[in-house]
Each structure stands twice: as C-alpha cells, then as structure tokens.
C-alpha cells in the first residue's frame, strides 16, 4: 500500500552537545518518507529551490520514494536552524527561512489522489488543507504540526485538525495549542475537534495514544548513543503510518504496534546527524529493536 506524504524538504543547520552540521538534508517530508519506506512505498509532495542537490534526490530515489510531487523552482530551498542543549527533547529554533515554501501550491499529482494513507507532515496548515481537498477517497489521514504553526496559523490549523483521523503533537505543543498543563485534558480537547485518535509524543520518554475513553502508553527506547534528535518526530510518524499502510488495517491493536515501530525508527534516527543513520538502517535491525521494546514493557 502506498503512503502520500506532504511536508518540507529542506536544509538544516543543527547544533547538539555532540556536534554541529550545516546545510544537512532535513525537512519533515524527508525524514517521514525515508522512515515510511521501510514498510510501504511513499510518494512525496514538497517543494525545493534551485540549490537542492541532485545527490539528495538520488537518496530519496534509492529508498523507492516517488518524486512526481517534488517540485523544483527558482529560489532557495526551505532552511531551518536549531540548537539542542543537554535536554535534547526540544530544539530551540534559531531561524526558519520559508523561502520557496512561500510559493508552494501543494498540487497533488493525479496519480497520487487515490491514496488511502496520507501523512500531513509539518508544514503550513493552509497547504495541508489544500492537499486534503484534492484527495478522492482518503481512509486514514495523520496530521503533525509544531509550535511555529500553532503561533502563526492557529485558525487554519484547527480547521485541518477537524478533518483528520489522527493528530500528532509533542507534549509542549499539546499544552500550547490547548492552553493547559494537563496532557489528558489537551488530548480530550483535541478529540472533541474531530480526530479519532490523538498521539502525544514525549521525546525520549515515548508516546501516548488517546482515543475515546482509552489510552495506551509506549515506552521510549533507552539509547546508548544519541547525537541528534532532529527529525525523530517525523521518523516516528513515517514509521507509524508506513506500518499501518503495509498491513492495511487501522484497528487499535495495529495502531499500538505502529506506535512501537514508529518509536523504534525514531530511536535509530537520533543515533546520528541528519538522515545518516536512516540511510544505513536495515529491516533486520528494526525487527530486533521491536522485540527488545516488547521485552522492555513486559511485566
Ligand atoms: P522534528 O525534529 O521531527 O520535529 O522535525 C525536524 C525537521 O522539521 C527539520 O528537519 C526541519 O527542517 C523541519 N522543520 C523545522 N521547522 C519547520 C516548520 N516550521 N515547518 C515545517 N518543517 C519544519
């Protein structure tokens, strides 16, 4: 089963206590697509500028990611700079240069409009809405967002939330969007807007799944090596939706397993900068860590 992914493809300047990278390949759609590619065939809808390097296109193609929706236009590619202190759960954004994202029309190529599984990765909620409007019969739409859009386009974001099946947020964003310190209350408010499920990511501490009257808690993987958490949220989401698309099932047991697969993929991503670990990752490593995760929560 294919997964349609819309989001950003960009160049990141990242600094963590373990090193620094400039103009490293990043962006929400980049991470999510590579993560989903371990389970399903992703199709990407995004925009880049003329400075986007051919080797990065080749990297996506080597992961069987379909690029008919990756538009290249004159101008500069989206760029983001972030810094992590020793608490690596949250990046401090140093700059966000939207660049060519400002002229993106989020056109979904005809051959992608029948997609059943759709991930609206972090990008302008106006673009996320445009994508939904072009879809013919989506079965399962997952939405991610972040503080930048909560602060600048909250009304549009609330509209998108009402049209999706799953809302993904990290804990800080959930508190910011719903103006409460209590995550359970934030999740309940989110469910009232329309989604069937809300997933609150808690960085290295795992993720919580909320649905009407029920919840599930997945642990984080205790990593020995952690260099750069950039893109972990997107890798989590890509792994999550990729797993569901592969099995073409969205009942609660499948969602729980998908969350654990998402956490496994995200844990690998944090082991190196940019997409470096993701490009070296293979399926046997994913399965091995999935079993370790099962063992961690057995009691
Ligand atoms: P994550 O660490 O999973 O939250 O996502 C990190 C990625 O999000 C980086 O590679 C950035 O390029 C990208 N990013 C940062 N700010 C934004 C934004 N406002 N909209 C979309 N993508 C962003």
Summarize pLDDT for 177-205 with one digit per residue, the tens: 999 999 999 999 999 999 999 999 988 88
Q: Which tens digit of pLDDT belongs to each residue from 261-275?
A: 999 999 999 999 999
- Average pLDDT along the chain: 95
Quote the pTM value.
Answer: 0.96
Note every long-range contact of 204-210, with CB atoms under 8 Å and residues 24 or more positions apart, other chains counting. 204/88, 204/89, 204/229, 204/270, 205/89, 206/263, 207/236, 207/259, 207/262, 207/263, 208/183, 209/255, 209/256, 209/259, 210/184
Ligand 1 in reach of 123 Cβ (< 6 A): yes
In the prediction, which pLDDT does 88 show? Answer: 81
Q: Which atom of ligand 1 is nearest the CA belonging to 229?
A: 2
Best mutation site among 11, 21, 28 for ligand 1, i.e. most ligand atoms within 8 A of its Cβ? Answer: 28
Q: Which tens digit of pLDDT belongs to each residue from 64-111?
A: 999 999 999 999 999 999 999 888 878 999 999 999 999 999 999 999
Q: Mean pLDDT throughout 6-10?
A: 97
Domains defined along the chain, listed by start: 3-297 (3.40.1190.20)
Ligand 1 in reach of 230 Cβ (< 6 A): yes
C-alpha 205 to ligand 1 mean position (Å): 20
d(CA 294, CA 299): 10
Phi, psi for 214 (deg, rounded to 5) = -135, 155
Ligand 1 in reach of 122 Cβ (< 6 A): yes
The residue among 46 and 225 whose pLDDT is bigger is: 46
Q: How many CA atoms lie within 13 A of 140 on its CB side?
A: 19
d(CA 8, CA 41): 18
Among protein residues, the one with the nearest Cα to ligand 1's atom 15 is 80
Give the burial string for 215-245 (b: 16+ CB within 10 Å, else e).
ebebebbeeeebbbbbbbbbbbbbbbbbbbb
Among protein residues, the one with the nearest Cα to ligand 1's atom 18 is 123
Among protein residues, the one with the nearest Cα to ligand 1's atom 6 is 231
């Amino acid at each position: 089963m294919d997964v349609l992914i819309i989001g950003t493809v960009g160049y990141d300047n990242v600094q963590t206590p373990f090193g620094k990278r400039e103009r490293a390949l990043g962006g929400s759609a980049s991470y999510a697509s590579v993560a989903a590619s371990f389970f399903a065939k992703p199709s990407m809808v995004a925009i880049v500028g003329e400075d986007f390097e051919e080797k990065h296109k080749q990297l996506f193609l080597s992961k069987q990611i379909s690029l008919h929706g990756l538009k290249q236009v004159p101008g500069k590619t989206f760029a983001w700079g972030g810094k992590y202190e020793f608490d690596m759960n949250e990046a401090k954004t140093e700059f966000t240069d939207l660049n060519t994202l400002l002229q993106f029309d989020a056109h979904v190529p005809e051959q992608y409009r029948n997609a059943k599984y759709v991930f609206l990765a972090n990008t302008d909620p106006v673009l996320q809405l445009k994508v939904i409007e072009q879809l013919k019969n989506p079965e399962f739409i997952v939405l991610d967002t972040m503080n930048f859009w909560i602060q600048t386009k909250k009304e549009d974001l609330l509209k998108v939330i009402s049209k999706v099946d799953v809302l993904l947020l990290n804990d800080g964003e959930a508190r910011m969007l719903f103006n409460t310190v209590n995550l359970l209350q934030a999740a309940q408010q989110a469910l009232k807007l329309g989604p069937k499920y809300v997933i609150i990511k808690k960085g290295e501490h795992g993720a919580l799944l909320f649905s009407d009257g029920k919840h599930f808690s997945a642990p984080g993987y205790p990593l020995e090596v952690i260099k750069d958490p950039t893109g972990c949220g997107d890798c989590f989401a890509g792994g999550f939706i990729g797993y569901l698309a592969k099995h073409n099932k969205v009942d609660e047991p499948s969602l729980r397993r998908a969350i654990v697969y998402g956490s496994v993929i995200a844990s690998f991503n944090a082991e190196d900068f940019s997409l470096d670990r993701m490009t070296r990752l293979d399926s046997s490593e994913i399965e091995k860590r999935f079993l370790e995760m099962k063992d961690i929560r057995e009691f």
